[in-house]
Amino acid sequence: MSVDVLIPETTDAAVEAFGDGTDITVIAGGTIVMQLLNYRRITVSKAMLLNKAGLSYLRQSDSTWTVGAMTPLSDLLGMFSPLGACAANVADHEVQYQATIGGNLCAPTPPEHPSGDLQGPLIALGATVRSVGAGGERTDGVEEFLASRAGRLVLDISFETPQAGAFAALDRPHTRHFTALAVSGVKSGDTVRLAATGVGPVGVRLLSAEAAAGDPEAAGNAALADAVLRDDALASAWYRERTLPSLVARVLNEIKEAS
Amino acid sequence: MNIVLNGVTVAIKSPPLASLLTVLREELNVTSTKVGCEQGGCGACTALVNGKPQRTCLTPIAAVDGASVTTVEGLGDSDHLTAVQQSFVNHYAAQCGFCTPAMIIAATAYLEGNGSSDREEIEEALKGHTCRCTGYQKIVSAVAAAVAETTFDLTVTTPSPNTVIKSGGQT
Ligand SMILES: Cc1cc2nc3c(=O)[nH]c(=O)nc-3n(C[C@H](O)[C@H](O)[C@H](O)COP(=O)(O)OP(=O)(O)OC[C@H]3O[C@@H](n4cnc5c(N)ncnc54)[C@H](O)[C@@H]3O)c2cc1C
Ligand code: FES
Ligand code: FES
């Protein structure tokens, strides 16, 4: 079957070509889509490559950062925790050059494992996502975006420099594609936001743990109420139940030390 | 579409979503890039794309239209080995050889980026590459020795005296 491949050379052209997103497969770095194509797990009739669409940028204005959807993870490595630390934990250096922040946010969630490790730090940072699709341009919080991302083309993601931040993850043997469990935390003023990946199909905010953030041990245990733990190819629910509280406590202790 | 393969511009006829790996092996007969996992996990298909190591199995050919692609065939030949290649020979860093071309490509990029001879840094740089045979120690030793021994010019894609390491490396 022949595939219609579009390679827009400006952001406007990409937005126009995407339209309402019907039947179009977006290819950013391709580190997920190409695996699916190689194994014939998806069929594509129309694809849009974003590599020339002018969406790779990292802009800072005072404390506000705006990161273009096509920005490779290698450009995020030096950034503050939890974002920089999480990007450094993804795959290996070679994949980090190719993999993008937009592709990570939009990583499909197969039944075998969780995906999209950067969703955790972006939820903790209270980031917003600018996207286009049916109904035009929209800016959503990350969780709202994740709940309604079908048919959207991400343009960029914005967040503030945090006062302090921390990231903790289970060790990942070799280049497993996703981290079995990771926790991100961000302190701004008197509030701490916490989020986890590996506890559901997409990243989850840990609201109960946030409410108990003054006591890291108690917050760790409270986090279990925020997560629906499952067995998958990377870890069992049993293992996650025992490790989530300690990752939450570690993040909160690191934030305390840093602030 | 075309790519500049090892310094020579070649036209590509494969469909736009064919992987660079498939194009290299099946259209252009460049077989040093190996088909391992086709999932980005083993590193065996790695080539330099515009000087950076990239998984060719995860790269649609249309995304690298016009790019410079360097495979191990573009680094040296049996009479003119590059520093890294010679060091792999000197240190017995290959057994079956399946991972070796991509290891050499990754190590070449590491040297080009002024990588040090620190073993942990080398391991970190090569961590996306799986070797089923060597246990990695000899590969790391080969890269460390190449760092210590070489003046290396990656921009030269046909072997020249600059890309050649003299014999006399540690054996
Ligand atoms: C060896 C290996 C290890 C890996 N390890 C990890 C890991 O540890 N953690 C992790 O999170 N990921 C990991 N990954 C997966 C992947 O590399 C990353 O998630 C990466 O950030 C995906 O980005 P991409 O640009 O390559 O996505 P692509 O493959 O291009 O796209 C992924 C999905 O997002 C959609 N998409 C892409 N861009 C947009 C956009 N702008 N708007 C709307 N939709 C879009 C695509 O249509 C597709 O559905 C790994 C991959 C490999 C090969
Ligand atoms: S074949 Fe490309 S990484 Fe394994
Ligand atoms: S030498 Fe056999 S896989 Fe590395």
Confidence class of residue B167 from pLDDT cuts 50, 70 and 90?
A: very low
Q: What is the value of ipTM here, to two decimals?
A: 0.92
Select the residue from B58, B64, B112, B122 to test the A interface by mutation, using most A Cβ atoms within 10 A.
Answer: B58
Contact (Cβ atoms closer than 8 angstroms) between residue B17 and residue A44: yes
pLDDT (mean) for A53-59: 98
Ligand 1 mean position, distance from CA A45 (Å): 20
B139 touches chain A (CB under 8 A): no
| Mean pLDDT computed over every residue of chain B | 88
Phi, psi values for residue A40, rounded to 5°: 50, 40
pLDDT of B26 reads: 98
Q: Please report, for the domain that includes residue A181, its CATH number.
A: 3.30.465.10
Say what the alpha-carbon torsion angle A46, A49, A54, A57 is, to the nearest 10 degrees.
Answer: 130
* Nearest-angstrom CA–CA distance, B15 and B83: 36
- Where does residue A245 rank: exposed (0-12), middle (13-18), buried (19+ CB within 10 A)? buried
pLDDT of B65 reads: 97
Q: Is the pLDDT of residue B165 over 60?
A: no
- A215: tokens are 């006591």
Cβ-Cβ contacts under 8 Å for B62 (sequence gap 6 or more)? A5, A7, A49, B1, B16, B17
Residues A148-161: tens digit of each pLDDT: 999 999 999 999 99
Q: Is the pLDDT of residue A217 over 60?
A: yes
Please give the angle made by the CA atoms of B44, B134 and B26, to the nearest 5 degrees. 25
pLDDT (mean) for A98-122: 90
Q: Which CATH architecture has domain B2-74?
A: Roll (3.10)
Confidence class of residue A176 from pLDDT cuts 50, 70 and 90?
A: low
pLDDT (mean) for B86-98: 94
Confidence class of residue A173 from pLDDT cuts 50, 70 and 90?
A: low
Stretch among A119-133, A136-150, B81-95 having the lowest mean pLDDT: B81-95
Query: Which residues in chain B touch residue A27, judged by CB atoms under 8 angstroms apart?
Result: 17, 60, 63
Beta-strand pair A46-49/A4-6: parallel
Question: Closest Cα of chain B to A91: distance in Å?
Answer: 7
Stretch among A10-24, B39-53, B143-157 having the lowest mean pLDDT: B143-157
Q: Kindly identify which residue of chain B lies nearest to residue A47, measuring between CA atoms.
A: B17
Contact (Cβ atoms closer than 8 angstroms) between residue A196 and residue A184: yes
Domain that holds residue A131: 4-258
Select the residue from A41, A56, A77, A92 to test the B interface by mutation, using most B Cβ atoms within 10 A.
Answer: A92
- Residue A232 or B150, more confident: A232
pLDDT (mean) for B113-140: 95
Ligand 1 neighbour A103 (Cβ under 6 A): yes
What letter does residue B60 receive in the DSSP assignment? Answer: B
Cβ–Cβ gap A175/B52 under 8 Å: no
* Distances from the Cα of A89 to the Cα of A73, A180, B109, B168, angstroms: 10, 12, 21, 39
Query: Which residues in chain A touch residue B58, judged by CB atoms under 8 angstroms apart?
Result: 29-31, 34-35, 95, 98
Q: Is the pLDDT of residue A175 over 60?
A: no
pLDDT (mean) for A226-250: 93
Residues B32-65: tens digit of each pLDDT: 999 999 999 999 999 999 999 999 999 999 999 9
- A6: tokens are 């579009």
Ligand 1 mean position, distance from CA B165 (Å): 39
- A189: tokens are 């003023």
- Residue A156: how many CB atoms within 10 A of its CB? 23
Question: Closest Cα of chain A to B82: distance in Å?
Answer: 22
Residues of chain B with CATH 1.10.150.120: 83-147
pLDDT of A125 reads: 98
- CATH topology (fold) of B83-147: DNA polymerase; domain 1 (1.10.150)
Beta-strand pair A64-68/A58-61: antiparallel
The total number of structural domains that make up chain A: 1
Cβ–Cβ gap A30/B58 under 8 Å: yes
Residues A85-103: tens digit of each pLDDT: 999 999 999 999 999 999 9
- B15: tokens are 């469909």
Q: Is the pLDDT of residue A121 over 60?
A: yes
Residue nearest to atom 3 of ligand 2 (CA): B40
- B63: tokens are 């995304």
* Distances from the Cα of A83 to the Cα of A87, A203, B171, angstroms: 6, 14, 44
* Nearest-angstrom CA–CA distance, B170 and B47: 27
Alpha helices (H) in chain A, listed in sequence order: 11-18, 33-38, 83-89, 93-98, 101-105, 119-124, 142-147, 207-211, 216-222, 237-258
The helix/strand/coil state of A122 is: helix
pLDDT of B150 reads: 54
Q: Is the pLDDT of residue B156 over 50?
A: no
pLDDT of A174 reads: 58
The helix/strand/coil state of B49 is: strand
| Mean pLDDT computed over every residue of chain A | 94
